[in-house]
Structure 1
Amino acid sequence: MLKQKLFSWIPQLKRQVWILVAGRLLSGIGTGFTLFYAPIFFADRVGLTKTAVGIALGSASVSGIFGRIFSGSWADSPAWGRRRTLLLSCLICAGASFVLASANNFPILVVGNLLLGFGVGLYWPATEAIIADLTTAENRHEAYAITRLGDSLGLQFGVVFGGALIALTGAYRLLFVIDGISFLVFFGVIWVAISETYQPAAKPATQTPNIPTPQLKSTNTDKKTKFSDFLNNGWKIALQDRALLVYVLVNILFTTYIAQIQSTAPLYFSNFVSVKDSNQGFSTATISALFTWHIALLIVCQMPVARFLRRFSHPQSLIYSALLWAIGFTLIGITGITTTYPIAWAMLALAVLAIATVAYTPAASSLVVDLAPKTLRGVYLSINSLCWAVGYMIGPPLGGWALDLPRPFADSLWVALALSVGLTIFILQYLDRLVPQRN
């Protein structure tokens, strides 16, 4: 009986989806090795300035934008497809890791990060398009949830194992080598176990009046079509989709929220929280423990939250997520101004925000798939991924600017973010009315 209940919570997905999840967990471990320790290594061991390290690491975001754009177009190309895009992503990421392993100056560090950003940018639209091809509307939400779960587990294990390896050996460069090997193993998994899922339409699919129909002909004709023409047509169709453009606006708000938690909240906890018998905020060890708690909840809550929200439409799921973001931001503000058990308020805030995050990620990807014509899923998911790049361009500078202000203006950041959720919900309600017209 207990065994049956346990297996009932496991989504019934195709084998290739589980292979992608396992491969992402593996490569996520390698990424976790380097994600937290690269800044420490290049600043403290190689001897680069913190500014130089920050610029080099930030360059990955720039190349990541181009990676996402190319990934969407290549994944939807009959002459290239999702599988080849994923294989290329793994090779580029592996090469980037080996470049970083040998980096001993600023130019090589920049080259390594540019390659890594481009490779990661290629990965997400292609893999999410494959998952969309292999799932149905009934189980797609859970498939995206389990994919994100594999990613989160890999990163968490990587951080823990990476710290242990450094403590034992002090060999930072070995982390990059292991990261590169993990991408090569993932390449092998895709090569052996993942087949191409892109299916070009033999004739134009029926579309709604407000969206031009992709003019894709037979497979033989497609292979002769100029790739530049396909790229222009695919992006032109997507950028004329009113529902997608409305979603882009709200998705940039969500990704800006996530960026605040990862970049601004740690600084706020360190500099503005009142800790008894101390003139400073939380210690580094306390902040690390808090975010370990946050990541653990991301992992534990991913599937139960996805299963609960399955009964709602995707815009409605995002509305619930938005409400939780408002509550979480309010709790962070309380953490900064209270003198009574601030650690408890911080734990509660990060718990709420973990649930908000896991409610957001699967619903967002599933919504984009619902909006996209089957032959343009790569482009649509590329636009979804680009929202993350924009959100991370807005979020950290906005948070840093706010925290440079004196109190109480710095504390007002969290009030402003909580109030902005009202705009997010208003847009989502409009989107919820648009989406049924597309079904």
Structure 2
Amino acid sequence: MSSLTQWLSKLLPALDHRVWILAAGRLLSQVGIGFTLFYAPIFFTAQVGLSATQVGLGIGLGSVAGMAGRFLGGSLVDSPTAGRRPTLLASALVSAVADGALILANTFPIFVLGNLLMGFGVGLYWPAAESVAADITTPQQRNEAYALVRLADNIGLGVGVVAGGALISLTGAYRALFAIDGITFLLFFGIIYSAIAETRPADNPDRSLLQGWGHALRDTNLMVYALVNVMFTGYLAQIQSTLPLYLSRFGGGGEAVSEGTLSLLFTGHVVLAAIAQLPVARWLNRYSRAQGLMVSALLWGLGFGLVWRSGTGSFPLAWGGLALGVMALAMVAYTPIGSALVAAIAPEALRGVYLSVNSMCWAVGYLIGPPLGGWAIDQGAAVAHGFWLGLVATVAPALAILVWLDRRLRRRGF
């Protein structure tokens, strides 16, 4: 065995081949999503003629449809009449049809239809994909399994954003982006159809649509974690929505940061997250999952403090870059462990519903986080600077909740 092969065998986790197939399919579909993520709003405002308010409303309605998709998806993946595989296949087909609608969209109603279908398709995906990953791994492997899927997400999204920008700059063919995105979803459908069989446990009992949700919503462990999860996803949303505006508007020392410099800073953030994803997940295996989330919380607090420093002192780029680096580590410590914790506390027969609750926390966090950060930015420099210190303060109750949850889970053998 060559030294390179030995190095790769140590670096990459030893997981069921189906996890790798799922990650490969997800990478492919994320390339397509990256094609449209940043460029769709530009196209529909600049060329189709929709207002920014209409575009924002359409995207917001898509998020609402995503919550409906998560609710239905959680029940379908646990159902003996459906299951993980059909739900994954349905998510890919609905998303491909959504791209078809967006290709044809010349009016606001068709634009809304495309976003509703896309949100619903993505909502169906998450409970199904995370349930498959839990089904085919041991509890000890799940941190790394979920980390691998998240790594595929990040790489695919990054490649898609770069490739989409190159295509637009060369051809200006915005509608081609939706066609390529639809093709990637169809390829993802083909990968799942041909390579992944149903993984749902055969002895799962049949339940009504709401019965499983009632059990999940009465689970104290899940509900307590959901509170922290919404906070963490709200933190994550600040990186993508509030931080670029903060740096570009206020910077440090009275000087704003240019768009080109912002691009370099955020590219570094994404690259570090991709490099650190698997090593951090493996390192955190030595701790309980709640303790791993405590590490993430501490890193979020440090990162927010560094953002505040970047806007109120000298050397803003150095502090801003350091903040993004710390928050990249906070993100990769959080994302796989959160899913692994929920999979651990979920009854096997309700794994899909529990993971759907986990996914819904993301939708809620992204619903709350960006408007709150945007409001702070609009209030002027003093409030904008103080916003980051306010986020630092929220880390303390998050840590207290996690300490309580860790003790509770240890008593119950999790």
Bin of the TM-score, shorter chain as denominator length: over 0.9
Structure 2: which 5+ residue stretches go unaligned?
none
Aligned to 2:6: 4
Aligned to 2:61: 59
Q: Deviating runs (4+, > 3 A) in structure 1?
A: none
Cα RMSD after superposing both structures: 1.2
> C-alpha offsets along residues 277-329 of structure 1, whole Å, 9 cap, x if unaligned?
xx651122222221111111111110111111111110000000000000000
Aligned to 2:327: 353
Instruction: Write the mapping of 1:246-261 to structure 2, written as runs, cut at 5 A.
Output: 246-261=224-239
**Letter paired with 2:79:** S
Aligned to 1:274: 252
Aligned to 1:157: 159
Q: CA deviation at 1:407?
A: 3.2
Q: CA deviation at 1:274?
A: 3.0
Structure 2 Cα separation of the partners of residues 436 and 234 of structure 1:
24
Structure 2 Cα separation of the partners of residues 407 and 175 of structure 1:
38
Overall identity of the aligned pairs, in %: 55
Q: SS of the counterpart of 1:195?
A: coil
Q: SS of the counterpart of 1:139?
A: helix
Q: CA deviation at 1:50?
A: 1.2
Structure 1 Cα separation of the partners of residues 348 and 361 of structure 2:
21
Say if 2:304 and 2:323, in contact at 8 Å, map to a contact too: yes
Are residues 1:308 and 2:310 paired? no
Q: Between Structure 1 and Structure 2, how many residues are aligned? A: 411
Aligned to 1:82: 84
Say if 2:252 and 2:315, in contact at 8 Å, map to a contact too: no
Aligned to 1:175: 177
Query: Aligned to 1:368, which of 342, 358, 364?
Result: 342
Structure 1 Cα separation of the partners of residues 349 and 124 of structure 2:
18
Are residues 1:297 and 2:275 paired? no
Instruction: Write the mapping of 1:28-39 to structure 2, written as runs, cut at 5 A.
Output: 28-39=30-41
Instruction: Write the mapping of 1:2-401 to structure 2, written as runs, cut at 5 A.
Output: 2-201=4-203, 216=205, 222=206, 229-274=207-252, 280-338=255-313, 340-401=314-375
Structure 1 Cα separation of the partners of residues 266 and 345 of structure 2:
34
Structure 2 Cα separation of the partners of residues 269 and 326 of structure 1:
18
Structure 1 Cα separation of the partners of residues 48 and 412 of structure 2:
54
**Letter paired with 1:388:** W
TM-score (norm 1): 0.92
TM-score (norm 2): 0.97
Structure 2 Cα separation of the partners of residues 157 and 199 of structure 1:
35
Q: CA deviation at 1:86?
A: 0.3
Structure 2 Cα separation of the partners of residues 151 and 4 of structure 1:
26
Q: SS of the counterpart of 1:282?
A: coil
Aligned to 2:384: 410
> C-alpha offsets along residues 403-434 of structure 1, whole Å, 9 cap, x if unaligned?
22233222110001011100000000011011
Aligned to 1:212: none
**Letter paired with 1:382:** S
Range 38-47 or range 173-182, more displaced: 38-47
Say if 1:200 and 1:375, in contact at 8 Å, map to a contact too: no
Structure 1: which 5+ residue stretches go unaligned?
203-215, 217-221, 223-228
Aligned to 1:206: none
**Letter paired with 1:302:** Q
Say if 1:94 and 1:180, in contact at 8 Å, map to a contact too: yes
**Letter paired with 1:375:** A
Structure 1 Cα separation of the partners of residues 262 and 244 of structure 2:
7
Q: CA deviation at 1:2?
A: 4.5
Say if 1:250 and 1:427, in contact at 8 Å, map to a contact too: yes
Say if 1:371 and 1:438, in contact at 8 Å, map to a contact too: no
Q: SS of the counterpart of 1:41?
A: helix
Structure 1 Cα separation of the partners of residues 232 and 371 of structure 2:
16
Structure 2 Cα separation of the partners of residues 432 and 64 of structure 1:
30
Structure 2 Cα separation of the partners of residues 137 and 17 of structure 1:
14
Quick check: which has more Rg, 1 or 2?
Answer: 1
Q: CA deviation at 1:435?
A: 1.1
Structure 1 Cα separation of the partners of residues 78 and 278 of structure 2:
29
**Letter paired with 1:180:** G
Q: CA deviation at 1:5?
A: 2.5
**Letter paired with 2:398:** T
Structure 2 Cα separation of the partners of residues 156 and 80 of structure 1:
33
Q: CA deviation at 1:348?
A: 0.4
Structure 2 Cα separation of the partners of residues 111 and 240 of structure 1:
35
